[in-house]
């Protein structure tokens, strides 16, 4: 039967792999089925199955071989089983079994490279899926027939039942008597043994094939005689517009690759293993396709791999003025139309370099410096640019000013501590959300308090100075001399003047009866009424004045009027107790003639406004009583009547 290779719309398709089956050299047993020219299912995902695929042509162990397969162990882990094996044996092509023996158990003489996906405790299996080389149909890892392993199929990977295809390579070096087993390019087992004589009793001609099995658990288990198209590029290849691309075939195949079909993605094609260097018409993204055929007549799937032919980048970077004393940040501004920027090489012109995209320049002195940048794309395309970068000194400034009194104008001056670096702009943050521009300014604060004034400056070259902070205080003394008060004759009176600020100076006048007229809190001893004036002065010269009036009564005693007129005319509107020499009272109570309590308080001043529950009391005579403790600690009381007149 004649095979045909169809080419449709630039994509390669198979017209009939069935024809190749007529020539295929495999004998299938049990549950094994063929799914394509080079692929076989050993067991479906069904319990208690066993399948084998044997090559009917023996191989000679006196000759080296390098067999490459794709294996797929199924998709179930915890409830999957049992595994497959690559087997060499001399007993024929109708062998195989189901269950945990993987179709290998009991075959002797034999050598099996086994992928075991179920833990059989009787065989001393590890808990994870494993790879081992066993002899003579024996799967027990604790016997002499365990020749190598067990190991994980991939380093650190406990489960190989992952629905994925894995590249499985068995390489035999006949002269060195060394067998190597690799999985996905990782060397996993090495066996040095004269298997010809030690296992097969000098018989070099052996059958080879795959066996797989399931038992109480199952998985779909498959293998293919590897037919994987792949390519890479020659070392040092750059994929840039105008540069020919040199493709290198890197396909994996069980058999000898006999044919190649290349589609370069731009309408060009080739049918040789190593296509000639290909010149793409322009930068862009191209989809390269590759199909291979082996010596058994099997044709691979189409490999489709994107290839970017990059344009040359335009190297560029910001060259703004940099200022000493701040990070000298240089920003890459390179661009590329097709491709991806990947490498940056900076040369600072002083022997130092950098490879980060947006570096910090290393300069410590002012001046003009030549900077070179070379950028390279992922595709290997490069360009470079050289620019001069100016590094300028940064000015240093100082804010000057002093504390002032509220209402006064504050004067602030800026000083350039680096006169060789001229300053063009000055600005003040006043600490109250206001900003004033200028080197020397006047400013009036509307409220007293402590403020942090901050001076900013920018040099003629655009370098910003480190701000200079200046703490200032706007002094608002807010003097409180204390309340007017009443005392008894010879009762000590503690005066207490309070003002805002520090290092304040107080002066009381007249000095009559005062123990210290220069203290904020002097004591007074009086025999008669006295009015005191107090003056406070701050170190800034701010001044405040206050007055305290003191009335002196005989006492200690309670002084109570006999009548009052609560008509809101501003005269005699309240009934109050004057407690001369009595700093605290126990109570002050008022009753009407029927014993109803009209008013009660236990604090001074004791004042009744002639109401009850917010309503005016009737004009009448009321009884009162007051009790308290004098300044000497004596408790006493007084009582009497008062007339409310309306």
Q: Are residues 608 and 632 in the same domain?
A: yes
- Domain boundary residue, one of 553, 579, 605: 553
CATH number, domain containing residue 56? 2.60.120.200
Residue 359, both tokens: 């570096």
357 neighbors 331 (Cβ within 8 angstroms): no
Look at the chain and report how many structural domains it folds into.
6
Residues 6 or more apart in contact with residue 582 via CB below 8 angstroms: 488, 555, 556, 557, 558, 604, 628, 629, 630, 631
User: How far, in Å, CA of 19 to CA of 4, rounded?
Assistant: 9
Q: Are residues 256 and 279 in the same domain?
A: yes
User: How far, in Å, CA of 401 to CA of 205, rounded?
Assistant: 105
Q: Are residues 490 and 516 in the same domain?
A: yes
641 neighbors 623 (Cβ within 8 angstroms): yes
- Domain boundary residue, one of 343, 369, 392: 392
Residue 551: pLDDT over 90? yes
Q: Are residues 388 and 534 in the same domain?
A: no
Q: Are residues 387 and 516 in the same domain?
A: no
Residue 91, both tokens: 């007993």
314: in domain: no
15: in domain: no
Residue 17: pLDDT over 70? no
360: in domain: yes
Tell me the pLDDT tens digit for each residue of 554-585. Answer: 989 999 999 999 999 999 999 999 999 999 99
Beta strand pairing call for 505-509 and 353-354: unpaired
The candidate with the shortest Cα–Cα distance to 77, out of 162, 167, 156, is: 162
22: in domain: no
User: How far, in Å, CA of 96 to CA of 213, rounded?
Assistant: 8
Tell me the pLDDT tens digit for each residue of 132-186. Answer: 999 999 999 999 999 999 999 999 999 999 999 999 999 999 999 999 999 999 9
Q: Are residues 463 and 492 in the same domain?
A: no
Q: Are residues 401 and 423 in the same domain?
A: yes
Q: Are residues 219 and 363 in the same domain?
A: no
Segments forming the whole domain that contains residue 113? 31-225
Strands (E), 423-492: 423-429, 435-437, 440-443, 449-459, 468-475, 485-488
* Residue 18: strand, helix, or coil: helix
73: in domain: yes
Tell me the pLDDT tens digit for each residue of 579-620. Answer: 999 999 999 999 999 999 999 999 999 999 999 999 999 999
Q: Are residues 444 and 385 in the same domain?
A: no
Q: Are residues 57 and 154 in the same domain?
A: yes
Residues 6 or more apart in contact with residue 8 via CB below 8 angstroms: none
181 neighbors 189 (Cβ within 8 angstroms): yes
Sole residue written with tokens 């008509």 = 567
Give the percent of the chain with pLDDT over 70.
Answer: 96
Q: Are residues 83 and 203 in the same domain?
A: yes
Tell me the pLDDT tens digit for each residue of 459-481. Answer: 999 999 999 999 999 999 999 99
23: in domain: no
pLDDT classification of 502: cutoffs 50, 70, 90: confident
In this predicted structure, what is the pLDDT of residue 160? Answer: 96
This prediction has a pTM of 0.58
Lowest-confidence region among 77-81, 416-420, 430-434: 77-81
In this predicted structure, what is the pLDDT of residue 235? Answer: 79
In this predicted structure, what is the pLDDT of residue 24? Answer: 63
21: in domain: no
80: in domain: yes
Mapping DSSP onto H, E and C, the string for 117-184 reads CCCCHHHCCCCCCEEEEEECCCCCCCCCCEEEEEECCECCECCCCCCCCEEEEEEEECCCCEEEEEEC
Residue burial 173-208, b: 16+ Cβ < 10 Å; e: rest? ebeebebbbbbeeeebbebebebbeebbeeeeebbb
pLDDT classification of 501: cutoffs 50, 70, 90: confident
Q: Are residues 519 and 565 in the same domain?
A: no
């Amino acid at each position: 039967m004649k095979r045909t290779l169809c080419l449709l719309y630039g994509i390669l398709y198979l017209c009939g792999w069935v024809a190749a089956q007529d020539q295929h050299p495999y004998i299938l047993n049990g549950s094994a089925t063929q799914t394509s020219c080079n692929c076989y299912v050993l067991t479906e995902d069904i319990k208690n199955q066993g399948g084998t695929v044997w090559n009917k042509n023996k191989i000679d162990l006196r000759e080296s071989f390098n067999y490459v397969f794709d294996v797929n162990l199924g998709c179930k882990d915890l409830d999957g089983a049992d595994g497959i094996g690559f087997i060499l044996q001399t007993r024929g092509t109708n062998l195989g079994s189901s269950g945990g023996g993987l179709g290998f158990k009991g075959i002797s003489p034999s050598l099996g490279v086994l992928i075991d996906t179920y833990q059989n405790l009787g065989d001393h299996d590890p808990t994870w899926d494993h790879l081992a080389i066993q002899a003579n149909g024996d799967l027990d890892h604790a016997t002499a027939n365990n020749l190598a392993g067990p190991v994980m199929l991939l380093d650190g990977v406990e489960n190989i039942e992952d629905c994925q295809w894995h590249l499985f390579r068995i390489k035999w070096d006949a002269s060195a008597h060394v067998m190597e087993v690799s999985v996905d390019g990782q060397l996993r087992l090495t066996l040095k043994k004269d298997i010809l004589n030690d296992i097969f009793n000098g018989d070099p001609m052996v059958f080879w094939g795959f066996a797989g099995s399931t038992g109480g658990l199952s998985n779909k288990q498959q293998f293919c005689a590897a037919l994987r198209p792949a390519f890479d590029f020659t070392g040092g290849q750059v994929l840039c517009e105008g540069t020919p691309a040199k493709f290198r075939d890197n396909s994996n195949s069980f058999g000898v690759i006999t044919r190649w079909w290349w589609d370069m993605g731009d309408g060009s094609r080739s049918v040789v293993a190593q296509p000639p260097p290909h010149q793409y018409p322009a930068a862009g993204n191209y989809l390269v396709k590759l199909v291979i055929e082996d010596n058994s007549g099997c044709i691979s799937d189409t490999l489709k791999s994107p290839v970017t032919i990059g344009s040359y980048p335009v190297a560029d970077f910001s060259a703004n003025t940099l200022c000493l004393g701040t990070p000298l940040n240089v920003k890459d501004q390179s661009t590329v139309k097709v491709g991806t920027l990947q490498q940056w090489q900076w040369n600072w012109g002083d022997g130092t370099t950098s490879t980060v995209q947006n570096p910090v320049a290393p300069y410590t002195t002012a001046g003009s410096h030549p900077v070179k940048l070379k950028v390279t794309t992922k595709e290997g395309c490069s360009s470079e640019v050289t620019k001069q970068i100016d590094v300028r000194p940064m000015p240093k400034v100082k804010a000057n000013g002093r504390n002032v009194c509220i209402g006064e104008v504050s004067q602030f001056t800026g000083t350039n501590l680096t006169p060789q670096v001229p300053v063009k702009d000055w600005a003040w943050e006043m600490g109250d959300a206001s900003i004033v521009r200028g080197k020397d300014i006047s400013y009036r604060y509307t409220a007293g308090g402590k403020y942090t004034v901050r001076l900013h400056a920018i040099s003629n070259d655009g370098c910003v100075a480190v701000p200079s902070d200046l703490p200032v205080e706007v002094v608002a003394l807010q003097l409180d001399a204390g309340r007017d008060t009443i005392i008894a004759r010879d009762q000590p009176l503690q005066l207490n003047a309070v003002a805002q600020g520090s290092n304040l100076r107080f002066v009381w006048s007249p000095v009559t009866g005062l123990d210290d007229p220069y203290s904020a809190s002097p004591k007074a001893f009086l025999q008669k009424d006295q009015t005191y004036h107090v003056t406070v002065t701050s170190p800034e010269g701010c001044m405040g004045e206050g007055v305290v009036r003191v009335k002196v009564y005989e006492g200690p005693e309670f002084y109570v009027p006999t009548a009052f007129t609560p008509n809101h005319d501003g005269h005699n509107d309240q009934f109050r107790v004057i407690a001369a020499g009595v700093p605290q009272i126990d109570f002050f109570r008022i009753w009407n003639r029927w014993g109803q309590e009209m008013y009660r308080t236990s604090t001074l001043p004791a004042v009744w406004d002639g109401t009850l529950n917010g309503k005016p009391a009737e004009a009448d005579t009321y009884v009162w009583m007051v009790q308290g403790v004098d300044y000497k600690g004596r408790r006493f009381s007084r009582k009497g009547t008062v007339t409310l007149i309306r």
